[in-house]
């Protein structure tokens, strides 16, 4: 069985880019994915991690971008201050920007 997920969500933090002592490159950001449960909106948060070339290619991704991310998922359960928590990390192989947030730099037609 293959561990493969594809999600569409809004980037919640600007990516953190690091080059490790080994020379590998790593980029990490938070991703919010909205869904509806019993008529109520719910937001799930994921940590997205990209390595090497994929990490270099997300330099243009910014907080607020709508992106599609595809990769394997790691779920970790832990306790924090007496409360059980769940961390969901996507080890992404691909990340595509769908839309970018409007800025004051956009022209009259909404182009950046």
Per residue in 5-42, pLDDT tens? 999 999 999 999 999 999 999 999 999 999 888 889 99
Band of the pLDDT at 111, cuts 50, 70, 90? very low
Beta-carbon neighbour count of residue 93 at 10 Å?
13
Beta-carbon neighbour count of residue 48 at 10 Å?
25
103 vs 45: CA distance, rounded Å: 25
So where are the chain's domains?
5-99
Residues 67, 46 contacting (CB under 8 angstroms): no
Q: Is the dihedral of CA 59, 99, 93, 86 positive or negative?
A: positive
Query: pTM for this structure?
Result: 0.80
At the fourth CATH level, the homologous superfamily of domain 5-99 is Nucleic acid-binding proteins (2.40.50.140)
Per residue in 47-95, pLDDT tens? 999 999 999 888 889 999 999 999 999 999 999 899 998 999 999 999 9
User: Which residues is 31 bridged to in the sheet?
Assistant: 11, 46
């Amino acid at each position: 069985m293959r561990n493969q997920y594809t999600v569409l969500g809004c980037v919640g933090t600007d990516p953190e880019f690091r080059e490790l002592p080994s020379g590998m490159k790593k980029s990490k950001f938070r991703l919010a994915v909205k869904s509806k449960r019993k008529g109520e909106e719910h937001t799930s948060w994921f940590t997205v991690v990209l390595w090497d070339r994929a990490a270099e290619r997300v330099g243009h991704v910014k907080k607020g971008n709508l992106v599609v991310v595809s990769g394997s998922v790691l779920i970790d359960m832990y306790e924090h201050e007496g409360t059980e928590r769940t961390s969901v990390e996507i080890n992404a192989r691909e990340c595509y920007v769908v839309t970018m947030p409007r800025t004051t730099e956009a022209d009259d037609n909404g182009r950046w």
